[in-house]
Amino acid sequence: MRFLRSPRAAPFLLLLPSIVVILAVVAVPLVVSFWTSFTPYNLTRPATLYDFVGWRNYRRLMGNSDFWWAFGRTVVFITIALNLELLLGLGLALLMNNIRKGERTLRTIMMFPMMFSPILVGFMFKYLFNDAIGLVNNALFDLHIISRPIPWLVDGALANLTIILAEIWMSTSVFAILLLAGLLALPKEPIEAARVDGCNPWQVFRHITLPFLMPFIFIAMTIRSLDVARAYDMVRIMTNGGPAGRTELIWTLMVRTGYQNSQMGMANAMGYVSILLSIFFTVFFYRKLVAARSFMAGAQ
């Protein structure tokens, strides 16, 4: 009781509500799902929650080709999407940096996709890329580029392409906005000095602008890697893993296993793999961010 009145208790009391909420909604469920991943828990047979089967679920996952396909596709998907978003975002930021008139309006437009729910983006692209009535096919048709509809979401490879396009549309702005903020904060003197010394624009970009932007790039990457799993919403509404499992990502496979097949034990084992994947990406970029920041601090 006396501790609660002492000044040392103040930060503890201030943090208590946050800690309680995170414990209740994140920490305890994680323990539950960790335990569940070692049981054959099935929603239709509640008693199975208390059977301990060791690593059986994980061993089965390791031998399951569907799981490995979904896992591999997820990693490839994240890698392609993040890289293209970075490149396009950087390009857009460099373009916007040269615009002086109406830049506030343009910046607001750039923020549009950030307000959209992933499920909404999924719906939009499902509609735009519909093979019979979609805007894309209609436009290509009217321009006489194609004579028969392209089966965007019906063909496996094209469906993956469409999903990546949707992902890029949704998240390129995050990169563009953060990198634009970086460009606006870029000190002018080193660039002028380099120009006077006869550097061409590419050399200026490569040796001055880019190193300065590095921390901003890694912030964007860290923020983005926090919610890569948003892709679940999009895939859910666009293809739900189809056609024939060709767009199945680890998240859609997990939901199918858990809720549709009621195999909660197995689904939670997949859940742990997906959590580790997310943590890996976030920590990877966060460490680069810390390194880039200390490099910048050293340079200043």
Q: Which residues between 221 and 240 bind another protein (CB under 8 A)?
A: 222-223, 226-229, 232-233, 236-237
Q: Among residues 83, 117, 200, 261, which is the contact residue for another protein, using CB under 8 A?
A: 117
Beta carbon of residue 65, minimum distance to another protein (angstroms, whole number): 22
The string over 193-227, giving b where at least 16 C-beta atoms fall within 10 Å of a residue's C-beta and e elsewhere, is ebeeeebeeeebeeebbeebbbbbbbbbbbebbee
User: Is residue 17 a contact residue for another protein (CB under 8 A)?
Assistant: yes
Q: Which of residues 43-72 bind another protein (CB under 8 A)?
A: none
Q: Which of 62, 87, 135, 210 binds another protein (CB under 8 A)?
A: 135
Q: Is residue 247 helix, strand or coil?
A: coil
Considering only 1, 26, 157, 299, the residue that binds another protein (CB under 8 A) is 26
Q: Measured from the CB atom, is 55 or 112 closer to another protein?
A: 112
Please tell me what DSSP assigns to residue 269: H
Tokens of 91: 């390009």
By CB under 8 A, residue 25 contacts another protein: yes
Out of 32, 62, 210, 291, which residue is the one contacting another protein (CB under 8 A)? 32
Q: Is 187 left (phi over 0), alpha (psi -120 to 50) or beta?
A: beta
Which of 62/139 has CB closer to another protein?
A: 139
Residue 95 within binding range of another protein, rule CB under 8 A: yes
- Select from 173, 209, 239, 247 the one that contacts another protein (CB under 8 A): 173
Alpha helices in 154-263 (DSSP H): 156-184, 189-196, 201-204, 210-226, 231-238, 250-255
Instruction: Compute the distance between CA of residue 46 and CA of residue 174 in angstroms, rounded to an integer.
Output: 43
Amino acid letter, 59: R
Considering only residues 239-268, where is the footprint of another protein by CB under 8 A?
A: 251, 254-255, 258-259, 264, 267-268
**Cβ at position 154, least distance to another protein in Å:** 14
CA 280, 89, 164 angle in degrees (round to 5)? 65
